[in-house]
């Protein structure tokens, strides 16, 4: 998810796997809540290399441990051709809760989004900061080794706001990429190792009242749930 050349050399195959397509309802909402492995719950798929990370679930928390080998990568993703973006009057939302305990290397855990038009945002984690990898590795500081709650909002897949523990941490912009219609997260970097815990990851498109700002939408996250099932091959 790091730039196009680093995507080949550092992240490896992350977020490039093809999958069959099927329409989301709109608005839609897909939530992984830590009750089981993402690919078991679906509709998430798993991509991994060098055997993948050691993954355990305990009390609703999924722990990734790739400390044995910097070549390991292991992530969950959903790919949806032209079925991710919000329509006018809607908002794309991604929410996750993550504790990054150890990172060996520049960064390892990641959350990434690619729009239907191949515009992308990617956040890669070190212990004390986050890199917005498509925005010249802009840095966002975080308190290390504790859980933080993140909320990402975009009305147009060109601009976004990122909130950390309820506070606005960054306003940023998408960058034109190659991959499209894709959301992914996990232990994504080949060339780094880490230990990190995920409580939940949710994403979807919600309707917002008109007019409404991104900040106001934090108080109006009425979600129309999309019936979930095994959507991929």
Confirm whether 225 is domain-assigned.
Answer: no
Confirm whether 104 is domain-assigned.
Answer: yes
Confirm whether 230 is domain-assigned.
Answer: no
Mean pLDDT computed over 162-179: 97
Q: What's this model's pTM, rounded to 2 decimal places?
A: 0.82
pLDDT value of position 10: 34
pLDDT value of position 217: 46
- In this predicted model, what pLDDT tens digit does every residue of 90-136 receive, in sequence order? 999 999 999 999 999 999 999 999 999 999 999 999 999 999 999 99
Report the CATH number that the domain containing residue 102 is assigned in CATH.
2.60.120.200
Domain limits at 186?
4-217
pLDDT at 232 over 90: no
Mean pLDDT (the chain) is 84
- In this predicted model, what pLDDT tens digit does every residue of 177-224 receive, in sequence order? 999 999 999 999 999 999 999 999 999 999 986 654 445 444 444 433
Confirm whether 233 is domain-assigned.
Answer: no
In 179-208, which positions are buried (b, 16+ CB within 10 angstroms) versus exposed (e)? Answer: bbbbbbbbbbbbbbbbbbbbbbbbbbbbbb
Number of structural domains in the chain: 1
Report helix, strand and coil shares of the chain as percent, to nearest 5: 5, 45, 50
């Amino acid at each position: 998810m790091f730039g196009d050349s680093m995507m080949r050399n550092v992240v490896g195959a992350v977020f490039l796997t093809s999958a069959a397509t099927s329409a989301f309802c709109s608005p839609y909402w897909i939530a992984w809540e830590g009750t089981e492995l993402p690919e078991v719950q679906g509709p998430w798929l798993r991509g991994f290399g060098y055997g993948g990370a050691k993954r355990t679930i305990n009390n609703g928390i999924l722990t990734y441990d790739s400390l044995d080998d910097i070549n390991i990568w292991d992530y969950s993703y959903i790919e949806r051709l032209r079925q991710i973006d919000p329509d006018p009057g809607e908002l794309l939302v991604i929410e996750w809760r993550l504790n990054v305990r150890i990172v060996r290397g520049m960064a390892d855990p990641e959350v990434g989004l690619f729009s239907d038009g191949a515009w992308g945002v990617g956040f890669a984690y070190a212990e004390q900061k986050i890199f917005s990898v498509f925005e010249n590795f802009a840095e966002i500081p975080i308190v290390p080794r504790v859980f933080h709650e993140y909320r990402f909002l975009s009305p147009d897949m060109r601009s976004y706001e990122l909130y950390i523990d309820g506070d606005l941490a960054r306003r940023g912009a998408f960058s034109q990429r190659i991959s499209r219609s894709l959301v992914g997260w996990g232990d994504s970097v080949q060339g780094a190792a880490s230990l990190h815990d995920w409580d939940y990851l949710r994403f979807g498109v919600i309707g917002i009242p008109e007019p409404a700002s991104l900040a106001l939408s934090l108080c109006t996250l009425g979600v129309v749930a999309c019936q979930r099932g095994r959507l991929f091959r």
